[in-house]
Chain A
């Protein structure tokens, strides 16, 4: 039996510890993610979904519990160092890209995710064929904007770029935090389908937070329901198939 790619063991996170504002966000969370898993996560606002991702990516320290990557304890590994094997698309489109840098520059930064940044010329032009091919897969005109600063892109283009940046160098774990939430229904659906394509084509291991119950049912091989910092339900692919959106809604609360 091989180790799971990612394992959370009895994770609890507290913020503002020792003050009267102390708050326990995640409560005793245990989770195993195996290679090739594509897990969708749902839960009401404030249930701790983003916090779960913050803990996995190292943005936030755990108070109790352990995190393992391929069997190795990474609980105290810094965010910068976890980036070698982990990539992430943030909920907020502004967080995912460097606004004054161009699309191509952002992609190059992401291509070197987790690597040492050397003092050699970046040779941006050499990467254009690769970048054009990659951006074309998004079908939103991004390939014509490679030299534009990302601040002038539309929200949909920006999130599509953030997604490409997260997968341009294959991560062991991909975290998607409502990456289509800020987009209009059509753009959102396109990006969601493309996400699914890329994940299955690249055999990626992914966790995806969403508020759209249809998407949570449609995609992935597991569905996780988070409630007040606890994992309330886990549905397998087979159980998911039998569920309807209406039924799932009842499990949320």
Chain B
């Protein structure tokens, strides 16, 4: 039971990463590798500033702002510098690695004994792991509402159109470059905050904690899509969170099968690969049925 609550808590906390990537990957059609850098960047900024005496709330906010800046850099490289999207993200991600080492001064900083978002009278009075459920739910609720509201404004509609058909968007006077830059900024801001939350929940920031984040984010998006089909945009945003929780439960399941946490990235990749192949496998399966029906003898 405890394990399941823990997995749900992790799912809610990590959902912010999926929501961030949804904006770029799904809406803008932009595979943004920056997040592999922004996630540990958010963690590094939050943990380092907390150890310097900054309040956890402020430190988390700061992580978001730094994430926004990282997104801005990728956006400028792509739109003004005409660097292909994948490469622009990889450049910024690589640069952030060094920046993270600068910020932290070493490859791992512990928050042991320090204040953080998960240390408060109220949260400590909750049963075990419910603190992460509470904080995770609070953050994902606030930001899902924010993204949902934004997408349903005239601005948000222009943003969606930019990803859906950039040529049409331009011909309707939508400043697509600006939309892409803003999208990357908000997306990476969310990812930075997510990194800050995870680091505080784990009690440390580590230089390598970004590895695999893009796969985790895609997994929550795609699991949500595979399980819940034909959703409206608003429902899709919620499906990202559900996908993130289901992903954690799946990991819990495979860990129970005897794999250990060192295998996590391998398992994540396999889970994502299977989910991405599912629609195709389904088609094959239907084809096969149709084929069998076709060759069956008439009676």
Q: Do A and B bind each other?
A: yes
Partner-B contacts on A (CB < 8 A): 57, 59, 79-81, 83-84, 87-88, 90, 95-101, 105, 108-110, 112-115, 117-122, 165
Q: Do residues A80 and B170 form an inter-chain contact, with CB atoms below 8 A? A: yes
Q: Do residues A113 and B165 form an inter-chain contact, with CB atoms below 8 A? A: no
Docked pose: A97 CA to B156 CA in angstroms: 17
* Residues of chain B contacted by A118 (CB below 8 angstroms): 153-155
Docked pose: A113 CA to B161 CA in angstroms: 12
Considering the complex of A and B, which 10 residue pairs feature the smallest CB-CB distances, nearest first? A83-B173, A98-B164, A114-B173, A117-B158, A98-B165, A117-B155, A117-B154, A113-B172, A98-B161, A119-B155
B26 to chain A, nearest CB (A): 10
Indicate with 1 or 0, residue by residue over B163-201, a CB within 8 angstroms of chain A CB atoms: 011011111111110000000000000000000000000
Docked pose: A96 CA to B161 CA in angstroms: 11
A79 to chain B, nearest CB (A): 5
Contact of A81 among B149, B168, B173 (CB under 8 A): B173
| Number of residues of chain B lying within 8 A (CB) of chain A | 23
Q: Do residues A57 and B171 form an inter-chain contact, with CB atoms below 8 A? A: yes
Most buried by A among B154, B156, B160: B154
Docked pose: A57 CA to B150 CA in angstroms: 30
* Residues of chain A contacted by B169 (CB below 8 angstroms): 98, 109
Docked pose: A165 CA to B172 CA in angstroms: 9
A105 to chain B, nearest CB (A): 6
Q: Do residues B157 and A122 form an inter-chain contact, with CB atoms below 8 A? A: yes
Docked pose: A119 CA to B165 CA in angstroms: 21
Q: Do residues A113 and B168 form an inter-chain contact, with CB atoms below 8 A? A: no
**Interface residues of A, dominant DSSP:** loop
Total number of A-B contacts with CB less than 8 angstroms?
A: 81
Q: Do residues B171 and A109 form an inter-chain contact, with CB atoms below 8 A? A: no
Q: Do residues B165 and A105 form an inter-chain contact, with CB atoms below 8 A? A: no
Docked pose: A112 CA to B155 CA in angstroms: 11
Q: Do residues A112 and B154 form an inter-chain contact, with CB atoms below 8 A? A: yes
Decide yes or no whether B152 CB sits under 8 A from chain A: yes
Q: Do residues B157 and A105 form an inter-chain contact, with CB atoms below 8 A? A: yes
Q: A117-B155, A119-B153 are known; give 5 further A-B pairs, CB within 8 A.
A: A80-B176, A87-B171, A101-B160, A101-B161, A112-B154
- What are 18 contact pairs spanning A and B, CB under 8 A? A80-B170, A83-B171, A83-B172, A83-B173, A95-B167, A97-B165, A109-B161, A109-B172, A109-B174, A113-B172, A113-B173, A114-B172, A114-B173, A117-B154, A117-B155, A117-B174, A119-B150, A119-B153
Closest to B149 in A: A121
* Residues of chain B contacted by A57 (CB below 8 angstroms): 171
B22 to chain A, nearest CB (A): 14
Docked pose: A100 CA to B149 CA in angstroms: 19
A124 to chain B, nearest CB (A): 8
B235 to chain A, nearest CB (A): 14
A122 with B154: in contact, given A95-B165, A95-B167, A100-B164 (CB under 8 Å)? yes
Most buried by B among A80, A108, A114, A121: A80
* Residues of chain A contacted by B152 (CB below 8 angstroms): 121-122
B135 to chain A, nearest CB (A): 28
A110 with B164: in contact, given A117-B155, A118-B153, A119-B155 (CB under 8 Å)? no
Docked pose: A28 CA to B168 CA in angstroms: 29
Docked pose: A96 CA to B172 CA in angstroms: 10
Docked pose: A147 CA to B25 CA in angstroms: 24
Docked pose: A98 CA to B167 CA in angstroms: 9
Q: Do residues B167 and A109 form an inter-chain contact, with CB atoms below 8 A? A: no
* Residues of chain B contacted by A109 (CB below 8 angstroms): 157-158, 161, 169, 172, 174
Closest to A87 in B: B171
A88 with B171: in contact, given A97-B165, A98-B160, A101-B160 (CB under 8 Å)? yes
* Residues of chain B contacted by A98 (CB below 8 angstroms): 160-161, 164-165, 168-169
Q: Do residues A95 and B153 form an inter-chain contact, with CB atoms below 8 A? A: no
* Residues of chain A contacted by B157 (CB below 8 angstroms): 101, 105, 108-109, 117, 122
* Residues of chain A contacted by B154 (CB below 8 angstroms): 108, 112, 117-120, 122
Docked pose: A187 CA to B166 CA in angstroms: 28
Closest to B164 in A: A98
Closest to B172 in A: A113
* Residues of chain B contacted by A121 (CB below 8 angstroms): 149, 152-153
* Residues of chain B contacted by A97 (CB below 8 angstroms): 165, 168
Contact of A110 among B150, B155, B167, B172 (CB under 8 A): B172
